[in-house]
Amino acid sequence: MLAQLQNRFDQWIEQIVQYLDRLTVRERIMVVFTTIFVVVVIVGYSLWKMHSLAEQQQKRLNDLKDLMVWMQSNAVTMKPVNELELDKSGKIQRVAQQQGLTVSSQKNGEQLQIVVTHQNYAILANFLTQLAQMGLSIQKMEMVSSEGQIKLTATVQ
């Protein structure tokens, strides 16, 4: 296949050389100059277009980053009004549901012992952060990793 491609390329070059040989010197120079000019214009336009598209994507990326920062900074203030009416277990269940976690809880007097399992530490850390933002304090916390899962046991007050 490579030899076949080489043969076609050689035939094409031979046809171009024969065409140029039939032209006068002045016409040959004009054809070569015009060809070089067209190639330079096409390459230049391609580079400019790629640069323009890259700038657009960079602007879009920066806008999305700014939006993410804004959303993260305002996430604490964007709480529903009825959130204050929830009890401890309701707040825990709401945060767990937002994170896609399953929580088992056991009431022990004023305190509530919760157990959450997930494979990603960042999800569990975010879960604890949101609990703290909702006004719950964590008295005792233990994390145990086994078989790719992290088990979080915490006492919340």
Q: From CA 132, how far away is CA 149, in angstroms rounded? A: 23
> What would the mean pLDDT of 5-19 be, rounded to a whole number?
94
CB 61 within 8 A of CB 69: no
Question: Residue 32: what pLDDT?
Answer: 94
- Does the pTM of the predicted model rise above 0.75? no
Q: From CA 20, how far away is CA 31, in angstroms rounded? A: 8
Question: Residue 135: what pLDDT?
Answer: 82
CB 131 within 8 A of CB 83: no
Q: Give per-residue pLDDT as tens, 21-42.
A: 999 999 999 999 999 999 999 9
Pick 125 or 29 by higher pLDDT: 29
Match 């709480």 to its residue by tokens: 79
The phi and psi torsions of 156 (rounded to 5 degrees) equal -110, 140
The fold of the 84-156 domain, in CATH, is Alpha-Beta Plaits (3.30.70)
Q: Where are the domains of the chain?
A: 2-74, 84-156
| Model confidence at 5: pLDDT above 90 | yes
> What would the mean pLDDT of 91-112 be, rounded to a whole number?
87
